Chains A and B, each alone.
Chain A
Amino acid sequence: MTLQDRISAWLDGALPPEEAARLEAEAAADPTLAAKMQAAQEREEALSKAFDTLLEAPLPPGIMAVVSGSTQPGTRNEEASPTVAGAMAQEGPAAPAPEVTEAAPYPAHPGEAAFASNPPGGTAPRGEMPPDFAATNTNGRAFTPALIAAVLALLVVGAGGGALFTRGFLANEELADGHATRGWMEEIADYHRVYARQTAHLVEVPASETPHIEAWLGRETGVPLNVPDLSALGFTFQGARLLVAGGRPVAQLLYTDAEGGVMALCGLALEGGEPLPGFTAQSFGDDLEMVRWNPPGAAWVTVGKPDMALDAVARAAADNV
């Protein structure tokens, strides 16, 4: 491998750990190499940012018509007929769908089913599509991702909002103001199920603004915080959100693993309680797990899928957060 090949693989996290360490050691001793690697990293970031602007572009109504007019409830197992007529009418001729002899998209490899980025199948609550939704997309208006997000949010709130509120008051251990801790953890689980699906809009403030995140969330939650570097455990910091759970502001730091799976670190102020020793794990349904610890004046949880080694994450985070 040439040096450029090594840097390329290093940027992609594809070098074996010992080779990555060797390259980093070489860079530590060689300012020219270090500058080269840093420049390469900066180009990567600039490129990602540029490509991400495409995600905000309005979608042509023709495409939206195909999707949102596509199915009737309950026809999932039948051959749904795409409603392209409306799309054709506004968009002009479009290519006919070719016959694919063997599309076999994404063949199943049970052993390495590694695309872990939040299975869209879904743990998030489902709602009915608003009845007039299909009609709105044939009026020629462009659909912006923001509009899509709004529609999805409506669907989610419709089905899950009630549960979110009632669960908030399940009795267990109580916060100083009477909210049950079981409640805030349930609420964080609900948030996680929703946000882990928003791959295009995962965070409110991106990782590039880490100093701002630390100052802002520390101020809002009353819990001084550092964004822990969890890269040794395979998690990359993506950015943060401010949530409200149990009536309290909650700092949510979002990380992704190599497969795009989302893991969150959530912290909130918890006055009056004795700091609890150790780390406790708790399952939320089949799909989520949390590991919690209580430093003085605060409570922290790591939230993610049960296979994410959350206990190790919690211990690493507790030392650095």
Chain B
Amino acid sequence: MEPQDSTGFQEDLLASLPRLRRFALALTGHPLEADELVQITCERAIAKAAEWDQEQPLLPWLYTMARTLLAVEHRKAARRGAVPANEVVALLSHMGGEEATRAAQLIAPVLGLPDAMASVVLLVSVEGHSYAEAAEILGIPQSTVMSRMAAARAKLRAQWEGLE
């Protein structure tokens, strides 16, 4: 493999932004905090670019970095409960009103899940990572990924049945 230059890293980082931002939203549960986290993660990633193992895809590296930075900030402790769906709708301003509302109604309950379940749901259910990959990104045991997925689905099912 050819040596990676800075333009390559920059390109990959650029291409990773939409997913990194979505992951940050799942981690923090709040749009503004998510954007702050993306920003500091990008700054950190740029500063640490030389440490990135180019044999590995960039996204999991970024995800782990974001998760670590958030833990350092101890913001998790300050996590609030459910995010109002209208805050999520504001993120979806590029879509039609009805479509955005519908998507937000599905997203908001996930963001409001307790015990960092949202990031597990995003990685496994939405992005299709295996339990092993999600466990590595989140720094938790695989068995925890599995039990959080089951618990998250039970909670979401109850909420969605309430919606219908």
Encoded as 1 (CB less than 8 Å from any B CB) or 0, chain A from 100 to 129 comes to 110111101100111111111111001111
The residues of B that contact A55 with a CB separation of less than 8 Å are: 18-19, 22
Is there an interface contact between A94 and B92, defined as CB atoms closer than 8 Å? no
Asked if B140 is at the interface of the complex by the 8 Å CB criterion, the answer is no
Is there an interface contact between B40 and A119, defined as CB atoms closer than 8 Å? no
Partner of B50, one of A52, A76, A259: A76
Partner of B131, one of A14, A52, A122, A127: A14
The residues of B that contact A260 with a CB separation of less than 8 Å are: 57, 127-129
The residues of A that contact B73 with a CB separation of less than 8 Å are: 95, 98
The residues of B that contact A215 with a CB separation of less than 8 Å are: none
Is there an interface contact between B110 and A122, defined as CB atoms closer than 8 Å? no
The residues of B that contact A200 with a CB separation of less than 8 Å are: 15, 18-19
Partner of B57, one of A57, A60, A115: A115
Secondary structure at the B interface, as helix, strand, loop or mixed, is helix
Report the tally of A-B residue pairs with Cβ distances under 8 A.
Answer: 273
Minimum Cβ distance to chain A for residue B155 (Å): 11
Partner of A57, one of B54, B61, B92, B129: B92
Q: Which residue of A lies closest to B103 (CB)?
A: A50
Asked if B98 is at the interface of the complex by the 8 Å CB criterion, the answer is no
Encoded as 1 (CB less than 8 Å from any B CB) or 0, chain A from 250 to 270 comes to 000000101110000000000
A97-B150 Cα distance, complex, nearest whole Å:
35
The residues of A that contact B82 with a CB separation of less than 8 Å are: none
The residues of B that contact A51 with a CB separation of less than 8 Å are: 22, 106-107, 110, 122, 126
Is there an interface contact between A57 and B47, defined as CB atoms closer than 8 Å? no
On whether A67 and B17 interact (CB within 8 A), knowing A76-B5, A100-B69, the answer reads yes
Partner of A97, one of B2, B21, B22, B44: B44
Asked if B76 is at the interface of the complex by the 8 Å CB criterion, the answer is no
Asked if B144 is at the interface of the complex by the 8 Å CB criterion, the answer is no
Is there an interface contact between A11 and B1, defined as CB atoms closer than 8 Å? no
Is there an interface contact between A98 and B72, defined as CB atoms closer than 8 Å? yes
A50-B106 Cα distance, complex, nearest whole Å:
7
Partner of B11, one of A63, A82, A126: A126
Is there an interface contact between B13 and A53, defined as CB atoms closer than 8 Å? no
Is there an interface contact between A63 and B150, defined as CB atoms closer than 8 Å? no
Is there an interface contact between B7 and A9, defined as CB atoms closer than 8 Å? no
Most A C-beta atoms less than 10 A away, residue of B46, B53, B65: B46
Asked if A297 is at the interface of the complex by the 8 Å CB criterion, the answer is no
Encoded as 1 (CB less than 8 Å from any B CB) or 0, chain A from 113 to 153 comes to 11111111111001111000000000000001100100110
Q: How many residues of B are counted as interface, with CB atoms below 8 angstroms from the partner's CB atoms? A: 86
A108-B51 Cα distance, complex, nearest whole Å:
11
A58-B31 Cα distance, complex, nearest whole Å:
13
Is there an interface contact between A98 and B69, defined as CB atoms closer than 8 Å? yes
On whether A43 and B40 interact (CB within 8 A), knowing A68-B10, A70-B10, A151-B14, the answer reads no
Minimum Cβ distance to chain B for residue A237 (Å): 13
Partner of A121, one of B36, B54, B132: B54
Asked if A73 is at the interface of the complex by the 8 Å CB criterion, the answer is yes
The residues of B that contact A197 with a CB separation of less than 8 Å are: 15
Is there an interface contact between B153 and A100, defined as CB atoms closer than 8 Å? no
On whether A114 and B132 interact (CB within 8 A), knowing A47-B110, A67-B14, A79-B47, the answer reads yes
The residues of A that contact B10 with a CB separation of less than 8 Å are: 67-68, 70-71, 129
The residues of B that contact A232 with a CB separation of less than 8 Å are: none
Among B43-67, those with CB < 8 Å from A are 43-44, 46-50, 53-62, 64-65
The residues of A that contact B48 with a CB separation of less than 8 Å are: 103, 105
The residues of A that contact B11 with a CB separation of less than 8 Å are: 126, 129, 152, 155
A145-B14 Cα distance, complex, nearest whole Å:
10
Is there an interface contact between B17 and A148, defined as CB atoms closer than 8 Å? yes
Encoded as 1 (CB less than 8 Å from any B CB) or 0, chain A from 33 to 56 comes to 000000010011011111111111
Partner of B6, one of A14, A80, A98, A119: A80
Is there an interface contact between B8 and A122, defined as CB atoms closer than 8 Å? yes
A118-B93 Cα distance, complex, nearest whole Å:
31
Minimum Cβ distance to chain A for residue B49 (Å): 6
Asked if A5 is at the interface of the complex by the 8 Å CB criterion, the answer is yes
Q: List 9 A-B contacts (CB under 8 A).
A: A47-B156, A53-B99, A75-B6, A115-B56, A115-B59, A120-B12, A121-B12, A122-B1, A259-B133
Closest 10 interchain pairs by CB?
A121-B54, A120-B12, A50-B106, A71-B6, A105-B64, A8-B150, A76-B6, A105-B65, A50-B103, A55-B18
Given contacts A96-B40, A129-B7, A260-B129, 8 further A-B contacts (CB under 8 A): A53-B95, A59-B17, A67-B46, A71-B49, A72-B6, A80-B49, A82-B46, A105-B48
